Structure 1
Amino acid sequence: MAGSSALQEWKSGWLLVLAAGLGVSLGSIHIYATGLFIQPLEAEFGWSRAQITGGLSLLAVCGVLFSPVVGVAVDRWGSRRIAVPGSLFFCLSLMGLSLAGPSILSWWLLWGVVALAAVPLKPTVWSTAVSAKFTASRGLALAIMLCGTGVGSSLIPIVTHFLIGALGWRGAYVALGGLFAVIVVPALWLFFVDVRHQDKGRPQQALTGWTAREGLRTRQFHQLWIAALLVTTIIVGFVVHLVPMLNWAGLDRGTAVSIAGIVGVTSVAGRLIVGFLFDRQAGPPLGMASVSLPVFTALLLLLFPGSIPVILVAIFLLGLSVGGEYDAIIYLSTRYFGMRNFGTLFGFVAAALLAGVGLGPLIASHLYDQTGSYQSFLLLAIPAGALCAVLIGTLGRYPDHEAAPAAT
């Protein structure tokens, strides 16, 4: 029966997942493309790398501040009304970066526009629409949607490199924004829907789950919020510093770069495996296992520095966690919060996820600068990861939202 229900969901919803995956990929374009513009901008304007990448900090700040607002908007008007115009605005803002220079202030001002344009592309928008459509196969649907970041990490640097070589950095920004506008915006217009809001913004089905006020008072909400902050802080700290961390552990740079590449492959595998299992196993124990993997990575790097076989195992485990931790937080949030006010409640959790993205590299950098070693970061990751696992593992049984009065 469950298999039949899942099949029906995929028959009617696979295009929605595809469109949401494209939206996720669009939302990551600045992460994977910016590095390729550094050298051309340095050569033309003489800006430092810190100045060039400083614009990315604006996106993190806006994401943390406005994610809860986006969540409220998604509940009120539906994901589609946020995503379609938001994606077009973001593509235009990306094209606008071609107008930068010679003053660094112009660059930062244009990145401020990009940061505001990126607000409607936050995880709440995509995960709410997919979760509302899928129930029996929600875990796998969310996992496939989030593979959009993997596609982005693979293709965006290649496309960007080609465009800069062919058109220069200004033309590349215009072409990149235009290319994504032509591909992503029509796909969202045609296939991206929020089944809760399909008729002039009015919900078309009874919605079950906690109200925003109820959810904000539950221990599960607070545990998921803290776990989201901790797990992204740990994992993003690992990922950003992985190559220099492996250098510190005794590997030469070439070997470190090769081994670090394992993370990308195993993250996709981890994402799909975890998503598949969530539809078939109890969520908290599976989520606990997923978020605890960085603890073992830290232990192995501390206990066996320079051992390539052990480091390979450590990085393999890290990759699985990179793929599974985000899925775990989103999936478990859908099951505990329900869909009545999911956007509002998950907006706060998404803010914690984005805060962790900014904090992780910063903490790892600070500890290294103070000690000249990554040992302090690894020692910190062990209890932090263990606490995260405990928070996920003690969430308890899913609430029976179906037994409560539904919103219409």
Structure 2
Amino acid sequence: MVAATNSNFLRILPEALHTNRTMLSTALAVALWLNAICVPIGGRLVDRFGLRKVVLPGIVLFSIAYLLLSQVTNAWEFLLVQILIAVPVSMHASPAYAKLISLWFDRHRGFVLGLAVALGAGLGQTIMPKVTQALINTYGWRGGFIGIALIVLAIGFPAVALLARTPKAMLVADHAASSGEQAETEQRARFGQQGYTRGEALRQRTFYQLFAAIMFGSMALLATMAHAVPLLTERGLSVSDATTVMSCAFAGVIVGQFSSGFVIDRLNTPRVLTPYFASALIGVVILYSAHDKHILLPAAVMMGLGLGGEISQNAYLVSRYFGLKAFGAIYGLTFAASALGNGTGVILLGYLRDLSGSYDICRYLTGGAMTAALICVTFLPKFVFSSPKAAAR
């Protein structure tokens, strides 16, 4: 949700902090690269200690970090705070929530993961660019950071504290394992004990194929989202129209999350994601080529469809290829792939824009990265841990 607001700040902070877009893009990229290191650690902590003990402190620290962002006076202070943000981000990133959902749901896991991401991240990403721009217009960029900090703390903390609970049967299974009792294979599978360890997953080609698909997809799509407002305003759109295009992209994300989860539960094949990635490829190329708002709007939706399929079904693919035994640690690594690709894309787009004076050349970077992601996801193998519905066929 919050990452969707980077584009709002990237347009105005170069002048406010007396720096250039490359420097700020570098700061965001460093934070994302650190996320790539820290998120797998956060996933392992969730595997060991449970969601609430890790996520709740992470939310508080994240809000404090955004309050600090509101007080920076130069680019180096901005970079320092972005480095600090990597720690709380790793504590309440997607792997924690995805594991909790996967423990509760098996038969309809793809749809529920898509639903959760759509109503959480997707809806937030659709609304927050508009909310953030309103805060900036009213209170300035410092007020924008303060507003985001308060929103995350006021909504996120009580939601996790009151609603996030591990299934009771999972606790029973954990107790049985710790006391030396033998659990039935079906019970262990049902409550998260079946699957590969992180080391076993790292020895499989499928892991690296999935890692590459997520990394290149994020390089093309998430990095474009970060630069969307300056990209579109330089093409002649107003800030209001640019944020509207972004909101359309995030609306496409929601549709992609809902529909991909619904379909993948029924067809039980990774091929479901191929048209979503193809849609994103077409959309991102048009976004860097067109100038007409009426063409950019559907292109943004197409790009969002692919991003929605990637974001929501990353967790599903991990659970079906590697099981739930070390889900947090393994999904943390694929989430790191997203952060790595996003960070690299953000800095490269900023550098290429400053080097050439426009974003036009960036279509080759984003188009090439999205093509690589499409190839990787198209040739993924069959699932290893199929849903009960598929197993019954």
Same fold (TM over 0.5): yes
Question: TM tier, shorter chain?
Answer: 0.7 to 0.9
1:315 is displaced (CA, Å) by 3.4
Q: Counterpart of 1:22? A: none
Q: Counterpart of 2:5? A: 32
The one-letter amino acid of 2:2's match is I
TM-score by length of 1: 0.75
1:221 is displaced (CA, Å) by 0.7
TM-score by length of 2: 0.77
Q: Counterpart of 1:187? A: 159
Q: Counterpart of 1:224? A: 210
Q: Counterpart of 1:71? A: 43
Q: 1:399 aligns with which of 350, 367, 384?
A: 384
CA contact (8 A) 1:143 1:327 kept: yes
Alpha-carbon RMSD: 3.9
Q: Counterpart of 2:52? A: 80
Cα distance in 2 for partners of 1:209, 1:71 equals 16
The one-letter amino acid of 1:91's match is S
Stretches of structure 2 that go unaligned for 5 or more consecutive residues are 178-186, 389-393
Residues 72-104 of structure 1 show CA distances to partners (whole Å, capped at 9, x for unaligned) of 222222223211222222223333445x35676
Cα distance in 2 for partners of 1:167, 1:244 equals 20
Q: 1:320 aligns with which of 285, 305, 310?
A: 305
Q: 1:287 aligns with which of 238, 262, 273?
A: 273
CA contact (8 A) 1:209 1:401 kept: no
1:191 is displaced (CA, Å) by 1.2
Check 1:95–1:329 CA distance in 2 against 1; reply closer, same or farther (3 A cut): same
1:62 is displaced (CA, Å) by 2.1
Check 1:47–1:220 CA distance in 2 against 1; reply closer, same or farther (3 A cut): same
Cα distance in 2 for partners of 1:309, 1:39 equals 26
Within 5 A, what are the aligned runs for 1:177-326?
A: 177-195=149-167, 198=171, 206=188, 207-242=193-228, 252-254=236-238, 257=242, 259=245, 261-297=247-283, 313-326=298-311
Please say if 1:118 is aligned against 2:89: yes
The one of the two structures with greater contact order (alpha-carbon pairs below 8 A, sep at least 6) is 2
Q: Counterpart of 2:64? A: 92
Moved more, 223-232 or 385-394: 385-394
Identity percentage over the alignment? 24
1:350 is displaced (CA, Å) by 0.9
Q: Counterpart of 1:359? A: 344
1:332 is displaced (CA, Å) by 1.2
Cα distance in 1 for partners of 2:109, 2:359 equals 38
Q: Counterpart of 2:315? A: 330
Moved more, 168-177 or 121-130: 168-177
Cα distance in 1 for partners of 2:107, 2:247 equals 33
Residues 315-334 of structure 1 show CA distances to partners (whole Å, capped at 9, x for unaligned) of 33222112222123222111
Cα distance in 2 for partners of 1:376, 1:57 equals 20
Cα distance in 2 for partners of 1:93, 1:328 equals 29
1:162 is displaced (CA, Å) by 6.3
1:145 is displaced (CA, Å) by 1.9
Cα distance in 2 for partners of 1:335, 1:219 equals 15
Number of residue equivalences: 370
CA contact (8 A) 2:39 2:89 kept: no
Cα distance in 1 for partners of 2:358, 2:141 equals 37
Stretches of structure 1 that go unaligned for 5 or more consecutive residues are 1-27, 404-408
Q: Counterpart of 1:127? A: 98
Aligned residue for 2:266, secondary structure, equals coil
Aligned residue for 2:194, secondary structure, equals coil
CA contact (8 A) 1:74 1:125 kept: yes
Please say if 1:61 is aligned against 2:33: yes
The one-letter amino acid of 1:129's match is L
The one-letter amino acid of 2:60's match is L
Aligned residue for 1:340, secondary structure, equals coil
Check 1:198–1:156 CA distance in 2 against 1; reply closer, same or farther (3 A cut): farther
Cα distance in 2 for partners of 1:186, 1:347 equals 24
1:137 is displaced (CA, Å) by 1.6
1:113 is displaced (CA, Å) by 3.3
Cα distance in 1 for partners of 2:13, 2:359 equals 32
Cα distance in 1 for partners of 2:63, 2:344 equals 27
Check 1:260–1:350 CA distance in 2 against 1; reply closer, same or farther (3 A cut): closer
Residues 10-32 of structure 1 show CA distances to partners (whole Å, capped at 9, x for unaligned) of xxxxxxxxxxxxxxxxxx33652
